[in-house]
Amino acid sequence: MELQPVAMYREMYEGTHDELPSVHTAPTGVVEPDREQILDYMRKVRAIFDVMGSSDHLFAEGTDIEGGPSLYSDGVWIWREDSLEYLAGQPLLLPAEFVERVRSFDYTPQTFDTRDPDFDAAFLSYF
């Protein structure tokens, strides 16, 4: 199983996920008309790995995001707490397949088995 990242950037991982896009190439200048509903969907799923620490804000130097490295997933896609902050404040690219999935579920997350060992291995690769 492989989870697909949403708004996750190599700069979040300090050299351990060079396969991720750079935050510097992510701005698109375009925001979906239903971006707030998509963000609500992303906020509704439960955290699969909660981190008490913070992360450096990639767009606001000297600012931290509490719980930034915490991970969320809908069972197919994965994102971080700081991803939500960036998507709310920046015109960053959202994968078309992710947007289609969210819309197809009418912005309501579906349940999935978080106890699946394959899921564990997949999400832990992003911590």
Domain boundaries, the chain: 4-124
One DSSP character per residue, 68-124 reads TT-EEE-SSEEEEHHHHHHHHHS-B---HHHHHHHHHTTT-PPP--TT-HHHHHHHH
pLDDT > 70 fraction of the chain, expressed in percent and rounded: 100
Q: What is the mean pLDDT of residues 81-108?
A: 96
Q: What is the pLDDT of residue 46?
A: 84
Confidence of residue 56 (pLDDT cuts 50, 70, 90): very high
Confidence of residue 82 (pLDDT cuts 50, 70, 90): very high
What is the residue whose two structure tokens read 């998507």? 87
d(CA 40, CA 24): 25
Q: What is the pLDDT of residue 95?
A: 95
Element (H, E) at 54: strand 54-56
Whether 30 has a pLDDT exceeding 90, the answer reads no
Whether 24 has a pLDDT exceeding 90, the answer reads no
Q: What is the mean pLDDT of residues 67-78?
A: 96
Write down the pTM of the prediction.
0.93
Whether 27 has a pLDDT exceeding 90, the answer reads no
d(CA 110, CA 106): 10
Q: Name the nearest CA neighbour of 120 among 4, 3, 10.
A: 3
Whether 15 has a pLDDT exceeding 90, the answer reads no
Number of H helices, E strands in the chain: 4, 6
Coil vs helix vs strand at 32: coil
